[in-house]
Amino acid sequence: MEFLPLSFLAGVLTILAPCVLPVLPIIVGGSITEHNPWRPVIITLSLAGSIVFFTLILKATTAFIAIPDQFWKLFSGGIVLIFALTLLFPNLWARISSKLGLGSSTHHWLEASTQKQGILGMIMVGAALGPVFASCSPTYFFILGTVLPMNFFLGLLNLITYALGLAAVMFLIAYAGQRVMRSLKIAADPNGKFKKILGVLFLIVGLAIITGMDKKFEAYLLDQGWGDFSQFEQSLIDKVNDAQ
Protein backbone atom coordinates (compact mmCIF):
# COMPACT_ATOMS: atom_id res chain seq x y z
CA MET A 1 0.00 0.00 0.00
CA GLU A 2 3.00 2.31 0.51
CA PHE A 3 3.38 2.36 -3.28
CA LEU A 4 -0.06 3.93 -3.95
CA PRO A 5 0.97 7.61 -3.51
CA LEU A 6 3.82 7.09 -5.96
CA SER A 7 1.45 5.46 -8.45
CA PHE A 8 -0.85 8.48 -8.27
CA LEU A 9 2.09 10.89 -8.59
CA ALA A 10 3.40 8.96 -11.58
CA GLY A 11 0.00 9.32 -13.25
CA VAL A 12 0.09 13.06 -12.65
CA LEU A 13 3.64 13.40 -13.99
CA THR A 14 2.70 11.50 -17.15
CA ILE A 15 0.88 14.62 -18.33
CA LEU A 16 4.32 16.19 -18.86
CA ALA A 17 5.73 13.26 -20.83
CA PRO A 18 5.74 12.83 -24.64
CA CYS A 19 3.73 9.60 -24.39
CA VAL A 20 0.62 11.58 -23.43
CA LEU A 21 0.67 13.72 -26.58
CA PRO A 22 -1.88 11.62 -28.55
CA VAL A 23 -4.19 11.52 -25.53
CA LEU A 24 -4.10 15.17 -24.47
CA PRO A 25 -5.65 16.87 -27.53
CA ILE A 26 -8.44 14.29 -27.71
CA ILE A 27 -9.37 14.64 -24.04
CA VAL A 28 -9.12 18.43 -23.97
CA GLY A 29 -10.67 18.93 -27.39
CA GLY A 30 -13.52 16.53 -26.63
CA SER A 31 -14.25 18.35 -23.39
CA ILE A 32 -14.39 21.88 -24.75
CA THR A 33 -16.52 21.29 -27.83
CA GLU A 34 -19.69 21.75 -25.76
CA HIS A 35 -20.80 23.50 -22.58
CA ASN A 36 -21.92 20.31 -20.84
CA PRO A 37 -20.14 20.46 -17.43
CA TRP A 38 -20.04 16.65 -17.22
CA ARG A 39 -17.98 16.22 -20.38
CA PRO A 40 -14.54 16.51 -18.70
CA VAL A 41 -15.63 14.12 -15.92
CA ILE A 42 -17.07 11.44 -18.21
CA ILE A 43 -14.29 11.66 -20.78
CA THR A 44 -11.40 11.53 -18.29
CA LEU A 45 -12.94 8.71 -16.24
CA SER A 46 -13.54 6.79 -19.47
CA LEU A 47 -9.87 7.25 -20.31
CA ALA A 48 -8.83 5.95 -16.88
CA GLY A 49 -11.10 2.92 -17.17
CA SER A 50 -9.92 2.22 -20.70
CA ILE A 51 -6.24 2.37 -19.68
CA VAL A 52 -6.81 -0.10 -16.85
CA PHE A 53 -8.95 -2.45 -18.95
CA PHE A 54 -6.71 -2.61 -22.01
CA THR A 55 -3.55 -2.75 -19.91
CA LEU A 56 -4.85 -5.88 -18.21
CA ILE A 57 -6.22 -7.42 -21.40
CA LEU A 58 -3.38 -6.61 -23.77
CA LYS A 59 -0.32 -6.45 -21.54
CA ALA A 60 -0.96 -8.45 -18.38
CA THR A 61 -2.67 -11.44 -20.01
CA THR A 62 -2.33 -13.43 -23.22
CA ALA A 63 -6.04 -13.34 -24.07
CA PHE A 64 -5.59 -11.29 -27.25
CA ILE A 65 -2.01 -12.18 -28.05
CA ALA A 66 -2.92 -13.26 -31.57
CA ILE A 67 -4.37 -9.83 -32.45
CA PRO A 68 -1.74 -7.66 -34.15
CA ASP A 69 -0.91 -4.18 -32.87
CA GLN A 70 -2.07 -2.69 -36.17
CA PHE A 71 -5.64 -3.74 -35.37
CA TRP A 72 -5.65 -1.64 -32.20
CA LYS A 73 -4.07 1.27 -34.05
CA LEU A 74 -6.84 1.11 -36.63
CA PHE A 75 -9.46 0.69 -33.91
CA SER A 76 -8.37 3.70 -31.83
CA GLY A 77 -7.34 5.86 -34.75
CA GLY A 78 -10.61 5.06 -36.52
CA ILE A 79 -12.68 6.28 -33.55
CA VAL A 80 -10.67 9.49 -33.43
CA LEU A 81 -11.14 9.99 -37.18
CA ILE A 82 -14.90 9.54 -36.80
CA PHE A 83 -15.04 12.35 -34.27
CA ALA A 84 -12.79 14.46 -36.47
CA LEU A 85 -15.25 14.09 -39.34
CA THR A 86 -18.24 14.91 -37.12
CA LEU A 87 -16.51 18.13 -36.07
CA LEU A 88 -15.52 19.03 -39.61
CA PHE A 89 -18.90 17.99 -41.05
CA PRO A 90 -21.62 18.21 -38.35
CA ASN A 91 -24.28 16.73 -40.63
CA LEU A 92 -22.10 13.84 -41.77
CA TRP A 93 -24.12 11.04 -40.19
CA ALA A 94 -27.36 12.37 -41.57
CA ARG A 95 -25.91 12.36 -45.08
CA ILE A 96 -24.40 8.91 -44.71
CA SER A 97 -27.57 7.37 -43.31
CA SER A 98 -29.60 8.99 -46.05
CA LYS A 99 -27.37 7.74 -48.85
CA LEU A 100 -27.13 4.24 -47.41
CA GLY A 101 -30.86 4.09 -46.74
CA LEU A 102 -30.41 3.40 -43.04
CA GLY A 103 -33.42 3.51 -40.78
CA SER A 104 -34.20 6.38 -38.46
CA SER A 105 -33.28 4.31 -35.40
CA THR A 106 -29.79 3.72 -36.75
CA HIS A 107 -29.40 7.38 -37.56
CA HIS A 108 -30.50 8.41 -34.08
CA TRP A 109 -28.05 5.94 -32.51
CA LEU A 110 -25.16 7.27 -34.57
CA GLU A 111 -26.13 10.81 -33.79
CA ALA A 112 -26.42 10.08 -30.08
CA SER A 113 -23.06 8.32 -30.11
CA THR A 114 -21.10 11.02 -31.86
CA GLN A 115 -22.82 14.34 -31.48
CA LYS A 116 -22.64 16.87 -28.71
CA GLN A 117 -25.10 15.59 -26.11
CA GLY A 118 -24.52 11.84 -26.38
CA ILE A 119 -23.13 10.24 -23.22
CA LEU A 120 -21.99 7.29 -25.31
CA GLY A 121 -20.05 9.68 -27.50
CA MET A 122 -18.26 11.14 -24.47
CA ILE A 123 -17.36 7.65 -23.26
CA MET A 124 -16.05 6.70 -26.70
CA VAL A 125 -13.87 9.83 -26.83
CA GLY A 126 -12.29 9.00 -23.48
CA ALA A 127 -11.91 5.29 -24.12
CA ALA A 128 -10.64 5.56 -27.70
CA LEU A 129 -6.97 5.73 -26.81
CA GLY A 130 -6.89 3.01 -24.16
CA PRO A 131 -5.86 0.24 -26.61
CA VAL A 132 -2.83 2.17 -27.89
CA PHE A 133 -1.85 3.97 -24.69
CA ALA A 134 1.83 3.35 -24.02
CA SER A 135 3.08 5.05 -20.88
CA CYS A 136 6.72 6.06 -20.61
CA SER A 137 6.50 6.03 -16.81
CA PRO A 138 8.90 3.70 -14.94
CA THR A 139 6.25 3.39 -12.22
CA TYR A 140 3.74 2.11 -14.77
CA PHE A 141 6.17 -0.55 -15.97
CA PHE A 142 7.12 -1.42 -12.40
CA ILE A 143 3.44 -2.04 -11.62
CA LEU A 144 3.08 -4.28 -14.69
CA GLY A 145 6.38 -6.10 -14.41
CA THR A 146 6.78 -6.50 -10.66
CA VAL A 147 3.74 -5.66 -8.54
CA LEU A 148 1.03 -7.20 -10.72
CA PRO A 149 2.66 -10.65 -11.15
CA MET A 150 3.40 -10.88 -7.41
CA ASN A 151 0.02 -9.69 -6.13
CA PHE A 152 -2.78 -9.21 -8.64
CA PHE A 153 -5.06 -7.26 -6.28
CA LEU A 154 -2.29 -4.90 -5.18
CA GLY A 155 -1.08 -4.50 -8.76
CA LEU A 156 -4.60 -3.75 -9.98
CA LEU A 157 -5.07 -1.21 -7.18
CA ASN A 158 -1.84 0.56 -8.12
CA LEU A 159 -2.75 0.49 -11.81
CA ILE A 160 -6.14 2.09 -11.06
CA THR A 161 -4.42 4.67 -8.86
CA TYR A 162 -1.98 5.49 -11.67
CA ALA A 163 -4.82 5.89 -14.18
CA LEU A 164 -6.77 8.10 -11.76
CA GLY A 165 -3.71 10.32 -11.26
CA LEU A 166 -3.44 10.80 -15.01
CA ALA A 167 -7.20 11.35 -15.34
CA ALA A 168 -7.27 13.84 -12.45
CA VAL A 169 -4.72 16.21 -13.95
CA MET A 170 -6.31 15.85 -17.38
CA PHE A 171 -9.69 16.69 -15.87
CA LEU A 172 -8.28 19.90 -14.38
CA ILE A 173 -6.80 20.91 -17.74
CA ALA A 174 -9.96 19.97 -19.66
CA TYR A 175 -12.23 21.73 -17.15
CA ALA A 176 -10.10 24.89 -17.25
CA GLY A 177 -10.17 24.81 -21.05
CA GLN A 178 -13.95 24.40 -21.04
CA ARG A 179 -14.34 27.39 -18.71
CA VAL A 180 -12.15 29.53 -20.94
CA MET A 181 -14.05 28.49 -24.07
CA ARG A 182 -17.36 29.19 -22.33
CA SER A 183 -16.28 32.69 -21.35
CA LEU A 184 -15.01 33.44 -24.84
CA LYS A 185 -18.11 31.85 -26.43
CA ILE A 186 -16.10 30.60 -29.40
CA ALA A 187 -17.16 26.96 -29.15
CA ALA A 188 -20.91 27.49 -29.29
CA ASP A 189 -21.34 27.48 -33.07
CA PRO A 190 -21.38 23.86 -34.33
CA ASN A 191 -20.25 25.11 -37.73
CA GLY A 192 -17.74 27.64 -36.42
CA LYS A 193 -14.04 27.86 -37.21
CA PHE A 194 -13.03 26.73 -33.73
CA LYS A 195 -14.65 23.31 -34.17
CA LYS A 196 -13.17 23.03 -37.63
CA ILE A 197 -9.73 23.57 -36.10
CA LEU A 198 -10.44 20.90 -33.49
CA GLY A 199 -11.60 18.61 -36.27
CA VAL A 200 -8.32 19.06 -38.13
CA LEU A 201 -6.40 18.38 -34.90
CA PHE A 202 -8.40 15.18 -34.30
CA LEU A 203 -7.76 14.20 -37.92
CA ILE A 204 -4.00 14.63 -37.50
CA VAL A 205 -3.96 12.63 -34.26
CA GLY A 206 -6.08 9.84 -35.75
CA LEU A 207 -3.83 9.51 -38.79
CA ALA A 208 -0.72 9.62 -36.58
CA ILE A 209 -2.06 6.74 -34.48
CA ILE A 210 -2.93 4.62 -37.50
CA THR A 211 0.43 5.18 -39.19
CA GLY A 212 2.46 4.88 -35.98
CA MET A 213 3.91 8.37 -36.41
CA ASP A 214 2.81 9.28 -32.87
CA LYS A 215 5.20 6.72 -31.38
CA LYS A 216 8.06 7.88 -33.61
CA PHE A 217 7.47 11.49 -32.57
CA GLU A 218 7.36 10.51 -28.90
CA ALA A 219 10.62 8.58 -29.26
CA TYR A 220 12.23 11.59 -30.93
CA LEU A 221 11.20 13.89 -28.07
CA LEU A 222 12.51 11.43 -25.49
CA ASP A 223 15.82 11.18 -27.38
CA GLN A 224 16.02 14.97 -27.18
CA GLY A 225 15.50 14.78 -23.43
CA TRP A 226 12.09 16.47 -23.47
CA GLY A 227 9.71 15.39 -20.73
CA ASP A 228 11.95 12.61 -19.43
CA PHE A 229 11.09 12.17 -15.75
CA SER A 230 12.17 8.54 -15.65
CA GLN A 231 15.21 9.11 -13.43
CA PHE A 232 13.13 11.07 -10.91
CA GLU A 233 10.46 8.38 -10.80
CA GLN A 234 13.04 5.61 -10.60
CA SER A 235 14.65 7.26 -7.59
CA LEU A 236 11.25 7.38 -5.87
CA ILE A 237 10.65 3.71 -6.67
CA ASP A 238 14.04 2.82 -5.18
CA LYS A 239 13.27 4.79 -2.02
CA VAL A 240 9.91 3.07 -1.58
CA ASN A 241 11.51 -0.35 -2.11
CA ASP A 242 14.28 0.46 0.39
CA ALA A 243 11.69 1.59 2.93
CA GLN A 244 9.92 -1.75 2.61
pLDDT in tens, 150-195: 888 888 999 999 999 999 998 898 888 877 777 766 655 555 677 7
Q: Where are the alpha helices (DSSP H) in the chain?
A: 4-13, 23-32, 39-54, 69-88, 92-100, 104-114, 119-127, 138-142, 148-150, 152-184, 193-211, 213-223, 230-243
Percentage of the chain with pLDDT > 90? 7
Q: What is the pLDDT of residue 3?
A: 76
User: Looking at the predicted structure, is the pLDDT value of residue 106 above 50?
Assistant: no
Q: What is the pLDDT of residue 232?
A: 66
Q: Give the mean model confidence (pLDDT) for residues 62-77.
A: 74
Instruction: Identify the residue with better confidence: 33 or 144.
Output: 144
Residue 123: CB atoms within 10 Å: 18
What confidence score (pLDDT) does residue 173 get?
Answer: 87
Confidence at 98, pLDDT banded by 50, 70, 90: low
d(CA 146, CA 131): 21
Contacts 24+ apart (CB under 8 A), 27-31: 27/125, 27/126, 27/170, 27/173, 27/174, 28/170, 28/173, 28/174, 28/177, 29/198, 29/201, 29/202, 30/83, 30/122, 30/125, 30/126, 30/174, 31/174, 31/175, 31/177, 31/178
CA–CA gap between residue 175 and residue 42 (Å, rounded): 11
Supply the pTM of this predicted model: 0.78
DSSP state of 33: S
CA atoms within 13 A on the CB side of 205: 30
pLDDT-derived band at 64 (thresholds 50, 70, 90) equals: low
Looking at residue 207, its pLDDT comes to 93
Sorted by where each begins, the domain ranges of the chain are: 4-58+69-243
pLDDT at 142 > cutoff 60: yes
Mean residue pLDDT across the chain: 76
Q: How many CA atoms lie within 13 A of 96 on its CB side?
A: 13
The pLDDT, as a whole number, for residue 183 is 72
